[in-house]
């Protein structure tokens, strides 16, 4: 695949993006910069970030592609995350039910 690789990855860092999020997304972009055109890779990197950091879900084909592309860059991040407190989302109905049924 031949496409321009002469672009600055750092142009895509949001000023409000946490440093550890940007570091992982940047590693993803750097690893795949030679495989995808700029606009496509940035979309994939943002999708990867949404899945990894926010728990977003996409159509099955997209999830499989992101999983395949993220495997070489995400291992150390996930290992580091294991020992940290994880957020758990509870549905409103479950929360209300537990509150009502407290003893």
Task: Concatenate the DSSP letters of all residues of 62-101 into one string.
Answer: HHHHHHHHHHHHHHHHHHHHTTS-------HHHHHHHHHT
Q: What is the pTM of this model?
A: 0.71
pLDDT of the residue at 46: 95
Q: What angle do CA 21, 87, 62 make, to 5 degrees?
A: 55
pLDDT tens digits, 25-46: 999 999 999 999 999 999 999 9
How far apart, in whole angstroms, are the C-alpha atoms of residue 33 and residue 43?
12
What are the boundaries of each domain within the chain? 9-100
User: In which residue are the tokens 């672009």 written?
Assistant: 7
Residue that is written with structure tokens 């055109």 in the block: 37
Per residue in 56-94, pLDDT (tens digit) is 999 999 999 999 999 988 877 777 666 665 566 677 777
């Amino acid at each position: 695949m031949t496409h321009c690789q002469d672009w600055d990855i750092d142009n895509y860092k949001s000023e409000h993006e946490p440093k550890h999020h940007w570091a992982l997304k940047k590693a993803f972009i750097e690893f795949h910069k030679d495989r995808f055109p700029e606009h496509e890779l940035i979309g994939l990197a943002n999708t990867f970030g949404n899945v990894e950091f926010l728990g977003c879900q996409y159509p099955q084909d997209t999830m499989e592609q992101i999983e395949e592309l993220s495997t070489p860059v995400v291992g150390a991040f996930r290992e580091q995350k294991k020992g940290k407190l994880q957020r758990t989302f509870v549905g409103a109905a479950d929360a209300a039910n537990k509150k009502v049924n407290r003893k």
